[in-house]
Amino acid sequence: MANFEIHLVKLGNAKADESAVAARLKELFDKVIHDGRVSAYQEAHIQWPQSCPVSLSPDQLLVYVLQDANDSVVHAHFQPHDFAEGGGYTTWNNSVTASEVYISGCDGNGAGVANMIFHEAMHNKGHWSNALLHGPFGGLGLASANIAKDTSLTAVNIQRMAAVLAARNPQWLGGCTYFYDPLRQAHVLNSLSPAGTYGFGVEGLNPALRRRRKGPGPLGLG
């Protein structure tokens, strides 16, 4: 029987307590697998690869871990219509699904980050909107809009996640290529300078330029 593989990729200056995050995530996902009776998997396996995977089975999970939203790869690359804020962000289109978590927006560096990753994983696996997941359907707890380090996994969280855990949603593998692209790096440096006026893409990396816009685009979720 296979393990459920979770790949966590740190980008930039992200500083995560890897062992604490992994321990909490394993506890959460093992609970889903065992109590939710997910026959496809034996247990969860969490990895912190040094770079983005070159390929993944479409049932596996990939989450980018960033220090804060200004380092965004998912929100910035997909240019959705809403502003990246809070502790995490997930979006999808017809071909790929992508999730990221911001350490500075999480409550604590261990359980808080892990809880946020689990929350974004619910969006990632279920393709559930904020309105749907954050309400009673999601079971509150780790499906709630506000996640803290002591937020509990509820029985309904387990039920909902178990039903979609084996969903085959291909993950976006381009986060490393995008983040370390020389053009993006030049725009980042420009946005940090006092006279900087450039923003990358529609949203921009300069916080002064990162505003909501209306228009078509993939669904972005916190």
> Mind listing the pLDDT tens digit for each residue in 9-30?
999 999 999 999 999 999 999 9
**Predicted local confidence at residue 190, as pLDDT:** 54
Which pLDDT band holds residue 1 (cuts at 50, 70, 90)?
confident
Q: Where are the alpha helices (DSSP H) in 45-174?
A: 74-78, 111-126, 130-133, 155-164
Rounded to two decimals, the pTM is 0.84
Which pLDDT band holds residue 188 (cuts at 50, 70, 90)?
low
Q: Which of 84, 8, 97, 64 is nearest to 180 (CA)?
A: 64
**Predicted local confidence at residue 181, as pLDDT:** 85
Beta-bridge partners for 41:
2
Who contacts 31 (Cβ-Cβ below 8 Å, separation ≥6)? 153, 158
Q: Is the pLDDT score of 211 beyond 50?
A: no
3 state DSSP class of 220: strand
**Predicted local confidence at residue 184, as pLDDT:** 72
Q: What is the mean pLDDT of the chain?
A: 84
**Phi, psi (rounded to 5 degrees) for 148:** -125, 175
Higher per-residue confidence, 18 vs 192: 18
- What CA–CA distance (Å, rounded) separates 4 from 40? 8
Which pLDDT band holds residue 216 (cuts at 50, 70, 90)?
very low
**Predicted local confidence at residue 187, as pLDDT:** 57
Higher per-residue confidence, 119 vs 209: 119
**Predicted local confidence at residue 202, as pLDDT:** 25
**Predicted local confidence at residue 208, as pLDDT:** 29
Q: What tokens does 69 get?
A: 């939203």
